[in-house]
Structure 1
Amino acid sequence: MRITIPTMLTMARIVMIPVLVVCFYLPYKWANVAAAGLFALASITDWLDGWIARRYHQYSAFGAFLDPVADKLMVAVVLLIIVQKHPTLWMALWAAVIIGREIAVSALREWMAELGQRAKVKVAAIGKFKTVAQMVALTGLLYEDNFFGIPVFKISDYLLAVAALLTLWSGLAYLMAAWPTLTEGEGHPNS
């Protein structure tokens, strides 16, 4: 198996997860800045590994498998630690929506691939907007502090709500695209 630069970046993102968690819980004033910086770096490597793979044709089956796993692990872990530190109804609800959608869409893509119809649930533009909103929101929620009087945490909390709503919208779009295939053959004795 050939390990490409994009795959190395993806693996680095997975290695960053426990480091980020440790930083988040360190009892130092700078811990939140370090955690936010690591998450921002991970978000940048997510974009960078895709760009390098497309630009320099450094595709691999392993990389294609690992990239979405790394993204989902990073987001889920960060959502969990944020909800643990800020256990509000809304924060827990947004986290549940985002994690639930990721599980559902992953299952939907896997099922559609089994049926030879994976192209019907390829990444759409709304999914990209959702990802950007989510990454910016999570970086701000990890940062927590005000930045020159700007209430970063509060703004990020609202942005997470926007990301969760975009998450629902994009999940519904994927489901609608797959619906004809999923319901094909219903009502027939062999279905």
Structure 2
Amino acid sequence: MTIANQLTLLRILLIPALILVFYLPFKLSAFFSALIFSLAAITDWADGYIARKYNQSTPFGAFLDPVADKLMVAVALVLLVEVHGSSWFAIPAVVIVGREIVISALREWMAELGKRATVAVSSIGKIKTTCQMISIIVLLLFRPGVNVYMTALGYITLYGAALLTLWSMVVYLKAAWPELNPNKSDH
């Protein structure tokens, strides 16, 4: 078990901690929820860095890392949809989670065709992830009604992440289109 894989497993173990702390009835639950999610975001960056720098990439890590990322983000967005309780929040949350499902299925399908590199992570995806992490941390920390400016910042970065999510999905689908298009001329 490599250090990178241990960090990925830690991220998964932080999910129930996030849920538990989010619902605890004490004043600092928002702070500790944001802290737990921040720790998960740091481990997301650290496990990839360590795996590359120290050649610790493993098939298990390659499988588990994106699963851990998607689970943590989806759980955090579901928790936040509950407290924000509006379509203005639900729409970007659904876009982000829905895109992850579509792209995961696309990557799996392309891998079966031996063309996984066609839908590899792009720089747009890295910017999207950064916006997502910032928005979720801000919105976990500043629950509705606490600070209107920080909530606005959280919404703006969430919408930025949702737009980048759609953009990156279009880029991935465009790259995979020759395999998806049944009318291509070489078959």
TM norm structure 1: 0.92
Q: 2:62 aligns with which of 64, 67, 73?
A: 64
Q: Which residue of 1 aligns with 2:173?
A: 175
| Alpha-carbon separation, structure 2, partners of 1:12 and 1:68 | 14
Once the two structures are TM-superposed, the CA of residue 158 in structure 1 deviates from its matched residue by: 1.2
Paired-residue identity, %? 52
Distance 2:182 2:69 in 1: 32
Runs of 4+ in 1 over 3 A off after TM superposition: 184-188
Greater CA deviation, 151-160 or 14-23? 151-160
In the TM superposition, residue 187 of structure 1 has moved relative to its aligned partner by 8.4
- Which of these residues, 78, 93, 96, is aligned with residue 95 of structure 1? 93
Q: Which residue of 1 aligns with 2:14?
A: 16
Q: Does 1:110 align with 2:103?
A: no
Partner residue, 1:163:
161
Match of 2:94, as an amino acid? A
Cα distance in 2 between the residues matched to 1:166 and 1:151: 22
TM-score, length basis structure 2: 0.94
Name the SS for the 1:151 alignment partner: helix
Aligned length: 185
Partners in 2 of 1:103 and 1:10 — Cα distance?
Answer: 20
Aligned 8 A contact 1:10 1:45 in 2: yes
Question: Could you tell me which residue of structure 1 aligns to residue 140 of structure 2?
Answer: 142
**Distance of 1:108 and 1:145 partners within structure 2:** 35
C-alpha deviation, 1:18, in angstroms: 0.6
Question: Which sections of structure 1, spanning at least 5 residues, go unmatched?
Answer: none
1:16, distance to aligned residue in structure 2 (A): 0.2
- What does residue 121 of structure 2 align with? 123
1:67-82, aligned counterparts within 5 Å? 67-82=65-80
Q: Which amino acid aligns with 1:10?
A: T
Are the equivalent residues in 2 in contact too, given 1:145–1:153 (CA < 8 A)? Answer: yes
Structure 2: gaps spanning 5 or more residues: none
